Amino acid sequence: MNKANQKEEELVEITLFADGDRYQDDVFVCVNGESCLIKRGVPVKVRPMFARALADSAEQDKLAESMMRRAHERGEAVR
């Protein structure tokens, strides 16, 4: 394994939000056919590709919320 691949495989620690209600279930993440199930509310170490996928998903959620809020403010229907 070369240094670039070795660095890519170093695990990163993340903690997913948990509230005991809506955000209580484990989170399934799949990237390029590889998957993992991540427990919420506790620090876990995952491969960087899974951490990136979760970060990208959170960013998309923020962008979608922003677009829906702006559409609502303009009086447009949000489907």
Scanning the structure block, which residue is given the tokens 């070795």? 6
Predicted confidence at residue 74, as pLDDT, reads 87
Predicted confidence at residue 78, as pLDDT, reads 63
pLDDT in tens, the chain (79 residues): 566 555 557 999 999 999 989 999 999 999 999 999 999 999 999 999 999 999 999 999 999 999 999 988 888 776 6
Single-letter amino acid code for the residue at 53: A
Predicted confidence at residue 38, as pLDDT, reads 98
Domain extents for the chain?
8-77
| CB distance 33 to 61 below 8 Å | no
Q: CA–CA separation, 15 vs 40, rounded Å?
A: 7
DSSP-derived secondary structure for 1-27 = --HHHHHHHS-EEE-B---SSSS-S-E
